[in-house]
Amino acid sequence: MSRFVGHFEIIPRARRAREAIRSIRRRSKLFKKAIADGDARTIETVSSRAWDDLTKLFETLRNERDHGYMDDVELSNAVGLLIEPATQQEQALIAAKSKIDRSHVNCGPLNLREALNKLGHYNGDLSTYRVDGRGAHYLVLGGRRGNRYWVAEILVSRLCKEAASAAKAIRQFPRS
């Protein structure tokens, strides 16, 4: 259900998130196909649009949680792995390998809430992707929070699945 106010359409909160998730899934498939085809132009175009959708998802879900339209528990499921703290050398090595070191002493699960934060605050020079042998698409992101460096590996399909579940939990009215 949407309505118009002036010149802007008011789009319900959950619908904004669902549209971003559908677009991310579609673009992940297109991205993997472009990788397999070696089509650099399509890779760049699809990737740029996917990041726009990831930003929309970050803004929508975090905003809904911050304003009481969803509970923290909806963002607590794991979508990847996180190493924090990490050294700058570890960040560079992981970015070069496009794979997180699961045996790292500081490696642990990355929940949807933190993954959204990482998507909003990553360092592009330390971030990359990986498509593994089974066709799973991962984002490998590096960044810094204060004086602590971090590296995250996000499974795109799991991110979409958990984000879709969270989007279903968005309430029409905030919790008092």
Q: Other CB atoms closer than 10 Å to residue 148's CB: what's the count?
A: 10
9 Cα distance to chain centroid? 26
* pLDDT tens figures, 57-88: 999 999 999 999 999 999 999 999 999 999 99
Give the count of domains, the chain.
1
Domain contains 160: yes
In a domain, 174, yes or no: no
37 inside domain: yes
Query: Which residue range forms the structural domain that includes residue 49?
Result: 8-168
pLDDT at 6 over 80: no
For residue 3, tell me if it sits in a domain: no
> Is 1 part of a structural domain of the chain?
no
Decide if 107 is inside a domain: yes
Inside any domain, residue 110: yes
**Structural domain includes residue 2:** no
Does the model's pTM come out above 0.85? yes
**Does 2 have pLDDT greater than 90?**
no
